[in-house]
Amino acid sequence: MEKPQIYYYQDFMDIDFPFKLEFPNESTLNLAYHAHEHFQVCYLLRGACMHYVGEQAYLMTKGDMLAIPPFIPHRFESYQEERVSMVQIDFMPIVLEQDEMLQDTTLFPKIAASPHSQVLVEQLITSMKQEHERQEPGYRQLIKADLIRLLVTIFRESSRTGHERSEPGQAGREKFYEAVRYIDNNYIEQLQLEEVAHLAAMSPTYFSYMFKVLMGQPFVQYVNELRIRKAAQLLQLTNKSVMEVCFDCGFNNVSHFTRTFKKATGLSPLRYRRQGADAT
C-alpha cells in the first residue's frame, strides 16, 4: 500500500473551532490513500462509491455512514458510472469540549443506517450546515449538540447491526450477480424479494436499493419486464394459449398478465400475436 498523505487540521480548519462540512461528489472524491489527525464522519446522500481501508474494500450506497479515527489510512473510489453525493464532516475533539466520547472510538469503515436513522442523520446534517453557514450567536453550541447526536446515532447503529454487515467489495458484487442470474433462470417461479436477497447475502432493504443502483430499475419492474419478454417470444413462436403463456412466464393471474403485457407493449397478448402473424 502506498504511503498515505497526512492532513493536519490547522491547514484547512478554524483553529478556534476546528469543524468543517464538505459535500464531495464523484469528481471530487479523495482517491489517494490519506490519513488525518482529526476525526471524520461521512454519509452518502446519493449513489454509490467504494471505500478502501487497508486491504479491505466496502461498497457504500445511499444511507451508509463511516467514521474514521485519526491517522487511519483510507481512500475513496468511484463505482462504475454512479454519481455520488456525500457529506464529509471533519472535526477535532475540542469541538465537543470533551474527550470521553471519542476515547474508545473504533474504526467504522461502513455502517448501514436504518431508514429511521437516515432521516435523523440528514436532519442533523442540514441543521449543522445551516448553523455553520449563518454563524449566528450560539451556532457553535448547536453544532456541538447536533454532532453529539450524530455520533450517538453511529454508535447505536453499529452496535445494533454491526459495522460490516454487508458484503464488501468484489465478493459482494459476485453474490449479487449470482442472485440476478437466479432470477433470469427461475422467472417462472413465484420470486420473493426476501428469498432472492438471501441468495445475495443481503437484507431485503439493502438488496432492493442495490438492485436499483446496479440494474437501473426496481426488482419488481425487472422481473415483470423479463417475464413480458419471455411471453412475447412464446406468443410469436408457439401456438400456446394466452392462459398457458401466462403461467409459463411466472404470472399466476390472466387478467393481471393481460394488463401488464398491454402496459408494456401497448397491445393485448392476442393483438400482439395477430400483429406478429400479419407481419410475416
Please report the DSSP string for 91-109 in residue order: E-GGGGT-SHHHHTPPPEE
Mean of pLDDT values over 243-248: 96
Instruction: List C-alpha distances in Å: 123 to 117, 152, 166.
Output: 10, 14, 25
Q: What percent of the chain has pLDDT over 70?
A: 90
Pairing of strands 56-61, 108-112: unpaired
**Residue 208 pLDDT level (bands cut at 50, 70, 90):** confident
Q: How confident is the model at residue 280 (pLDDT cuts 50, 70, 90)?
A: very low
Q: What is the pTM of this model?
A: 0.59
143-178 burial code (b ≥16 CB/10 A, e <16): bbebbebbbebbbebbeebebebbbbeeebbeebee
Q: Which domains can be identified in the chain, with CATH numbers?
A: 5-161 (2.60.120.280), 169-279 (1.10.10.60)
Place of cell 447491526: 161
E strand map for 79-215:
84-91, 108-112
Residue 167 confidence (pLDDT) above 60: no
Average confidence (pLDDT) over 252-260:
93
pLDDT one-digit tens code per residue, 41-76: 999 999 889 999 877 888 898 899 999 988 889 999
186-201: per-residue pLDDT in tens?
999 999 999 998 898 8
Which amino acid makes up residue 178? E
Asked if the model's pLDDT at residue 123 lies above 80, the reply is yes
Average pLDDT, the chain: 87
Span 80-107, mean pLDDT?
77
DSSP state of 14: -
pLDDT at 170 over 70: no
